[in-house]
Structure formats: C-alpha cells, structure tokens
C-alpha cells in the first residue's frame, strides 16, 4: 500500500525486505481490508489467516514496518474508510466508521483527522 509505504519511508528500508516477506505483507493487508466483519477483527484471527503465531505477527510487523500490529491495522482501516468516503459508498460518517470496524464515530473521526489532516465529514460530497 503506497500510503503505508509513505508513512514508513523514513524508517523502513524496502530493499531489505525479501520478495517472500513483501508477499506476506500484501497477504496481511488483503486479510485486514477484506474482513467481512471488521469490528470482530482480532490479532489472533489475522495471525491465523497469514499462517503465523500472534507473537510472530508482532515481530514481523515491527521488523518490516516499525510499528505495532494494532497501529498498522488501524492505518489500513482508515485508508479503507477514506476510499469509502471518496467513493460516497455510505451517506454518513457513522456508517463509514461502522463499515471499517470502529464502533465510535467520534473516535474514528479523531483518528482520521490525525492521519489525514482533514475531518471525514469534510470529504463527503454536498
């Protein structure tokens, strides 16, 4: 994901990640973004889907992306939310927040603003 690469570009050395590890990271991203029930997404379930233990999931994400798994998953969810807002898939920010796994729309908006520098409601058409 180019957004995550940009956020990590100062710390992550992409040339030191093997093709196998890059594919693993893409699989991880796919699992998180395609989860049908994002509010029930757990690190255990993600680790199971990418065929590693929870501990190994933590180690790999920390090693490759220099962040915690929870932060990485949150970034991916916010990226998906931004895409949903831009495509006007849902009418309200609450609907978008719930669709990507946040149960509190205010908390979602706060995180979204911290990541993108704009409130999600400002991106809605109209």
The DSSP secondary-structure symbol of 14 reads G
Query: How far is CA 12 from its chain centroid?
Result: 17
This prediction has a pTM of 0.84
Q: Is 7 a residue whose pLDDT tops 80?
A: no
Collapse the DSSP code of 47 into the 3-class scheme (helix H, G, I; strand E, B; otherwise coil) and give the result. Answer: helix
The model's pLDDT over 43-77, given as tens digits with 9 standing for 90+, comes to: 999 999 999 999 999 999 999 888 999 999 999 99
Longest dimension (CA), the chain: 46
Residues 6 or more apart in contact with residue 86 via CB below 8 angstroms: 123
Residue 50 near residue 24, CB atoms below 8 Å: yes
Smallest Cα–Cα separation from 5: which of 29, 32, 36?
A: 29
């Amino acid at each position: 994901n180019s957004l995550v690469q940009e956020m990590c570009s100062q710390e992550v050395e992409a040339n030191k990640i093997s093709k196998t590890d890059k594919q693993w990271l893409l699989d991880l991203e796919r699992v998180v973004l395609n989860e049908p029930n994002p509010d029930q997404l757990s690190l255990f379930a993600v680790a199971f889907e990418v065929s590693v233990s929870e501990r190994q999931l933590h180690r790999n994400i920390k090693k490759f992306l220099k962040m915690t798994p929870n932060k990485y998953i949150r970034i991916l969810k916010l990226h998906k939310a931004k895409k949903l807002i831009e495509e006007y898939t849902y009418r309200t920010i609450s609907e978008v927040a719930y669709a990507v796994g946040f149960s509190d729309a205010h908390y979602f908006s706060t995180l979204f603003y911290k990541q993108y520098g704009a409130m999600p409601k400002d991106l809605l058409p109209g």
